[in-house]
A and B are shown apart, each in its own frame.
Chain A
């Protein structure tokens, strides 16, 4: 083992200092220190957004934001977990919504309070241009809001940092839902396929499959026609 791998670092978790091996993620380092995650951990792969973490390095005036399962622990990090963001979600029935340009304002009027400080963007562990999508929402551009916010994992850090109390991630989720329901172009092949299913074109083939035993299924799978790649 090299000296590097044997090294340990000091981290500070909620004000208490721990020494942990170098090379661990923040989450692993915290677990090594004896913390057990009951809330604030989920997929451990950077997708679920449950393990929002705020930290500051020694001698850095800036707060940093990360997902504990993705960011490596560094020597001198002051860490705190933010497993939940108190941010009410507006109630709406997607089927009854009128997808007009000011629909996002109707359900999230506080987006009108954006001062363009860009703090939300700086807080995003997914590197999303959060302020830009809030601005797009404000001017009624639902498609752009949906596109810019596509990588959002709903961790809520933007919302915790916002001086205007905007609920960015809920608003953007609504934009993506409206986009999907009303604005995105309908794929032709999907329409065609759905029509065929409804007309029963696939029924006889499906019945055959259902009637097969396991052995026949394996053989049929191996002999299936593959689409050219």
Chain B
């Protein structure tokens, strides 16, 4: 059986365990299991944007060396931030001999990175290598009656040469939702930034972003929002309680990872689901048609 060389990223080991649990379970059923690389390190979460900065590429490249050591030339991750950072690092050095040479000389304790590792996001793999038909075939509980708003955020789509889909009109998550027989929700804020790391020193800004994004999804009829980024997930999920304090009428919107949505439909371990959805997604019953 084919396997994928998998880079989990730090979040999936604590804050976002449910993302990894569901991704692992889903990919096993889809017969393309994720095999974690050894001794990986934090990718750095954001790509350094200055031309002269090689220091902040070390983290990504050290991971590429681990991939090389595992005998692979591809690294797959489900975290959108890891994907973006790793992907941009690969573009920054893969065909840049001078940069590679400097970095390899610095990391003299490692074997040299040959500049051949390709970075892929799990959604891309599911679309391009598995196909929506196979996902649909593997489905046990169709998600009929459930309206799902895809939230792409930034890191899956921008910049253009890194994006896994058209940054202006992405369809990859919509197609996934379709394949699971749920109703994809179109809304204006699906690719607008959640505020990202500003949550550390501008939390009020995230509360405001969450309000706009989730209210827009709500108005468009969404029952649930799906993400592919642990930071979007954290921001959209955790600031809702603050939002409720500010606006008493605010109605909570469940947020979950796209792999959890798949896990529910494929009847495999989805990890911990958001409270309001737990009842609907109780194991072995799927969504049911009654509600929604």
Contacts and interface: CB of A to CB of B under 8 A. Distances in A.
B10 A138 contact: yes
B52 interface: no
B62 interface: yes
A139 B109 contact: no
A121 B107 CA distance: 12
A141 B14 CA distance: 9
B1 interface: no
A139 B62 contact: no
Contact of A101 (B14, B39, B58): B14
Tell which of B39, B42, B107 has the most Cβ of chain A within 10 Å.
B42
Nearest to A164: B55
Given A139-B10, A140-B13, A140-B14, A116 B58 contact: yes
A156 to B, nearest CB: 21
Contacts of B41: 114, 116, 131-132, 135
Nearest to A129: B39
A115 B109 contact: no
A138 B41 CA distance: 9
B42 A135 contact: yes
A80 B239 CA distance: 52
A102 B14 contact: yes
A94 to B, nearest CB: 21
Contact of B55 (A101, A102, A115, A135): A115
Contacts of B109: 118, 121-122
Interface in B16-66: 39, 41-42, 44, 55-56, 58-59, 62
Interface string A121-144: 110000000011001001111000
Nearest to A102: B14
Contact of A163 (B55, B62, B107): B55
A95 B59 CA distance: 35
Given A102-B14, A139-B14, A140-B14, A115 B58 contact: yes
A117 interface: yes
Contacts of A132: 39, 41
Interface of B: 10, 13-15, 39, 41-42, 44, 55-56, 58-59, 62, 106-107, 109
Interface of A: 101-102, 114-118, 121-122, 131-132, 135, 138-141, 163
